Amino acid sequence: MPEIPPPLKPPKRVLLGPGPTTVEPRVYAAMQLPIVSHVDPFFYQVAEDIRIMLGPVFGTESHFRMVISGTGSSGMEAAIVNFTDPGTKFAVLANGYFCERISDIAGRQGASVVRLEKPWGETFTAEEARDFIAREKPAIVAYVQAETSTGIYLPGKAVCDAAHAHGALVIADCVTSLGAMPVDMDAIGIDIAYSCSQKGLSCPPGLAPIALSPLALERLRARTAPVRSFYFDLKLLDDYYEGAHRYHHTAPISMFYALREALAIITEEGLESRFARHRRNHLAFVAGIEALGLRMHVTDPANRLWSLNTVSVPEGIQDAKVRARLVAATGIDILGGFGPLAGKIFRVGLMGASSTQENVLAALEGLEAALGAEGYRPAGSGRAAAERFYAANPA
């Protein structure tokens, strides 16, 4: 017989990385409630509550909103496989890791993938996007609204307008924007938007919200060939949640409870107040970073995510050592870059319940100490600069 392990005692962490984020106590409490069957009327009411509350968060009045049982990558895969067949011309605006993943999944579906590429951390002008789409005339255009690997934001209005002018559908990755920044699905013209539960929504990982525009729903219902995935077939999932309630899979009941409670918290706070909180804390953090003599990786403030801040690592400093010192001294957990940005950036998440003034000040103070221990000499006090910003810009 194997030895019985001791009770779990997770370390105390302040989650300020790119996700997961802090989970609200009310969300944890919801997860402790007794589960029901995945075909119980109570569960279907929970799913309907989620569908209703997701509308404003996505910025859409489209009825088709649901949750995939899986992480954000399952939302990405569902978005792609339901609208992509062998030979589909699939255009990707590629400027970060998750654009690479989109390209990979589309290629695995047999799509003909074409890409407009930029270095990680740069974005696309409206003219570049329009010219690319006009030249390639794809059936699908995909872009990442909130790129977790770089901290860059691309709202995508020009992308959507150009795609629709050529009859293409638009897929947008909203994994790091949903619940923290405006997604504005209808106003921008996004046809398929997906996200995750563990970032701006402040839930544990395990669910992927997804929404379709009326045009995307029309294309989905017009399909004659079966989707090349059973688990991610949105027509089958729609029949499970909205139609005949025909069994499809055993949904993670406790996670649905969690997401329902998280969306209720967002509804209570109000989206305008929530977005203002994220923007204010982001700007205070940037003020502190610049006071320390550090640089943001995304140079144009208009292109920066409010939810995920990418800070360039100073010359001669090893990011892993700084992060290890920070977590050991304060419990604050941030992450570094990967791919071409490995060792070059810190990724500091301020999203959902993690986006607080207290966390901003503690992160700046902790970073200053950890950097100093590794030989960096700050230009000034990051905490003091953020405090001045807060005083000048009250909530």
pLDDT digits (tens, 9 = 90+) for 103-126: 999 999 999 999 999 999 999 999
pLDDT of residue 120: 95
Residue 369 forms part of a structural domain: yes
pLDDT of residue 1: 80
pLDDT of residue 2: 86
Same domain flag for 259 and 276:
no
Residue 10 forms part of a structural domain: no
Low-confidence stretches of the chain (pLDDT < 70) are: none
DSSP string, 321-387: HHHHHHHHHH-EE-EE--GGGTTTEEEEE--GGG--HHHHHHHHHHHHHHHHHTT---SS-HHHHHH
Same domain flag for 132 and 209:
yes
180: tokens are 């923290």
Same domain flag for 41 and 117:
yes
Residue 7 forms part of a structural domain: no
Is the backbone peptide bond immediately before 18 cis, with ω within 30 degrees of 0? no
Same domain flag for 253 and 311:
no
Same domain flag for 256 and 322:
no
Same domain flag for 263 and 274:
no
Nearest to 229 by CA among 85, 88, 35: 85
391: tokens are 């005083």
Contact 99, 48 (CB under 8 A): no
Out of 240, 267, 294, pick the residue that ends a domain.
Answer: 267
Residue 20 forms part of a structural domain: no
Structure pTM?
Answer: 0.97
Same domain flag for 252 and 276:
no
Number of domains forming the structure of the chain: 2
Same domain flag for 139 and 205:
yes
CA-CA-CA-CA torsion sign (10, 14, 20, 24)? positive
Out of 237, 267, 297, pick the residue that ends a domain.
Answer: 267
Beta strands 146-147 and 152-153, pairing class: antiparallel
Residue 123 forms part of a structural domain: yes
> What range does the domain containing 327 cover?
270-392
317: tokens are 């400093």
Same domain flag for 231 and 125:
yes
Same domain flag for 124 and 246:
yes
Residue 44 forms part of a structural domain: yes
**What are the distances in angstroms from CA 68 to CA 219, 251, 253, 329?**
19, 9, 12, 38
Same domain flag for 278 and 223:
no
Residue 11 forms part of a structural domain: no
Q: Which residue has the tokens 């307008």?
A: 161
Same domain flag for 262 and 307:
no
Whichever domain contains 49, its CATH number is 3.40.640.10
Whichever domain contains 292, its CATH number is 3.90.1150.10
Out of 267, 286, 321, pick the residue that ends a domain.
Answer: 267
Residue 13 forms part of a structural domain: no
Tens of pLDDT along 148-167?
Answer: 999 999 989 999 999 999 99
Nearest to 77 by CA among 57, 107, 117: 107
